[in-house]
Structures are given as C-alpha cells and as structure tokens.
Amino acid sequence: MTGRLLRLFLAVLAGLTGPLASWAASGDPAISVSCRTPRKGDPVVVLVTAGGAVDNLVLRWKGSDWPMREIAPGRYEGLIGVDLEDPEGPVPLSAAGFHGNVRFLAETGLVVSPREFPVQELTLPEGMAEFDNATLQRIEAEAMELSRRFSRVTPPRRRPPFLPPVEKYLPANFGSRRVINGDPRMPHAAVDIRLPQGTPVHAIADGQVAYAGEQFFGGKSVVIDHGGGVFSVYYHLKEYSVPEGREIARGDRIGSVGATGRATGPHLHFGVRVPGGRVDPTLLLALPGR
C-alpha cells in the first residue's frame, strides 16, 4: 500500500471508529463511590477522575442520565441515592461523556443492601383515613404536579455541607411502614421533627424555590431545587416566606414549623430527593461539602 493510500485508509478508519474509541489520555479513567454496598435510603457520592476535560459528562444510574460537576481539572463529582423502596442486589453505575470524538466511559456497580425500617401503627378518626372522590382527585393532581417539579433537572451547584433545617434537629420515622387503622400505607419517605409551632425553618443549601403552596397532605409546603436532581422538602409549615422561583442561600429562613395539612400536631416533615430516589435526610446532612 502506498503512503498516500495508507494515510487515506487511516483517515477513513478514524472517521468510522472515532466516536466509539475509548479515551487513552494520560491517566486511566476511574470511577469511585463513597460506598459500594449502600443500604436502602442511602445517598452515595460518586467521583470520576479522567486524564483531562470531559464534555457532557453524565452519571448513568437506574436508567437515567444525571449531570456531574467539575470540582478540579479532570475531576468530577455526582450525588446519587438508593430509594428506600429499591430492591436489594446489584445495580450498574457508569459515567459517560466525550472528548471531541473520543468516547469516555468508566463503569462500576453497587450492591443494594437490606435495611430494616420500623412499623408505625396509627389510629385516626374515620374522616382522616377515608377520602371522597373530590379529595382523591385533588390528592392525585397535587402528586402529579410535584412529580413534574421533581423531574426538572437543573445544573449541579457547588456543594457545601448541608445545614440542618432547624436548630434542634431530632429526626424520627424515616422509612417507617405506616399502618393506619389496620391498613398498610406507603412508607414514610422523610423524617419528622417535633418542635413548637412557629420554630424557624431554614434552607439546607443554596437553591431555587421549585414549589411554594398548600397541599392536602403536606399543608403549607416548600420544595427547594438544589441543582443536579437534588431537592429538599418541607411540609406542614405554619407559614412560608419564600415565593416560587426565588433564589435562596444556605441558611435562609423559608418558613416556620406548623401543623397544616394532615398533621396530628406541630412538626416539620423534612425529606430529600437525589438522583435515584428518596434518601434519609440525616445521612445527607452528614456528607462533607465539596
């Protein structure tokens, strides 16, 4: 083969295989996780180290792509979670992106471990446990609207340590399987913090108010979008002081503890969602900032 034909052959071959080639830059791509055997309800920090910049790098977790944030040249971070109702067993995890036409791919996997949740039996007046058709329609509409808000994924933000939403943070009931008047219900995907009515409630991190309104179950409620698929949820507020769309800072006052909605007394229902589902807020608060 002449030199000209050889160069032409190599150029055509590069054009055919370029998008599928693995990155061979200095340093092997690597993906590491804060825990390889997380329990149900655990958040997991993912770090990706590459030999250089990666364009459009995403984490592929539970059938969806989630954006990552560059924390240093060639180093990226993502936050995912194991939903409290996920099945036990292995789950694949990968990071994928491109450097020009060269594909970057780093793969690993997690093994979801069991976790025992308490069973909470409640006895409520009949009117609090059974709903008419109009109320059921309202509940369904509110759930669909919140699901729409949660599905919006904004760019990841810098992650300082998360701040407890109240000064006296004494959480209870995460994941408890509630049995109301003998009827098993959905698990409690948040913690309850019992405090006097009017106790100030603060944002756990920088973000934008994704929802501020009143719901049948949650009463006066606020949802904050912290970027990258991370949300915090505050229900049963006496009042809220932030409108939808407002940018807020970590520690900003967003309302106060109340007993609105379906509440048996003053408390804060505090939940968090990360890419992959609903996780234990107390474990999220324990993560170091980055």
Q: Determine the Cα–Cα distance for residues 134 and 161; give it in Å rounded to an integer.
A: 43
Give pLDDT, residue 233.
Answer: 98
Give pLDDT, residue 151.
Answer: 93
Burial 115-154 (b: 16+ CB within 10 A, else e): eebeebeeeeeeeeeeeeeeeeeeeeebeeebeeebeebe
In a 3-state reduction of DSSP, which class is residue 230?
A: coil
Q: Determine the Cα–Cα distance for residues 41 and 271; give it in Å rounded to an integer.
A: 11
Burial 219-233 (b: 16+ CB within 10 A, else e): bbbbbbbbbbbbbbb
Give pLDDT, residue 289.
Answer: 76
Q: What architecture is the 3-112 domain classified under in CATH?
A: Sandwich (2.60)
Q: Determine the Cα–Cα distance for residues 267 and 258; give it in Å rounded to an integer.
A: 6
Query: Tokens for 221?
Result: 């409620």
**Tens digit of pLDDT per residue, the chain (290 long)?**
444 433 333 333 333 333 333 443 333 468 999 999 999 999 999 999 987 889 999 999 999 999 999 999 999 999 999 999 999 999 999 999 998 888 999 999 999 999 999 887 878 776 666 788 999 999 999 999 999 999 999 999 988 899 999 999 999 999 998 888 888 888 999 999 999 999 999 999 999 999 999 999 999 999 999 999 999 999 999 999 999 999 999 999 999 999 999 898 999 999 999 999 999 999 999 998 76
Give pLDDT, residue 61.
Answer: 97
**Contact, 247 vs 217, CB < 8 A?**
no
Give pLDDT, residue 136.
Answer: 93
Give pLDDT, residue 127.
Answer: 65
| Topology adopted by domain 119-285 | Glucose Permease (Domain IIA) (2.70.70)
The pTM assigned to this predicted structure is 0.87
Domain ranges, ordered by start, for the chain: 3-112, 119-285
Which run of H or E residues covers position 11? helix 3-17
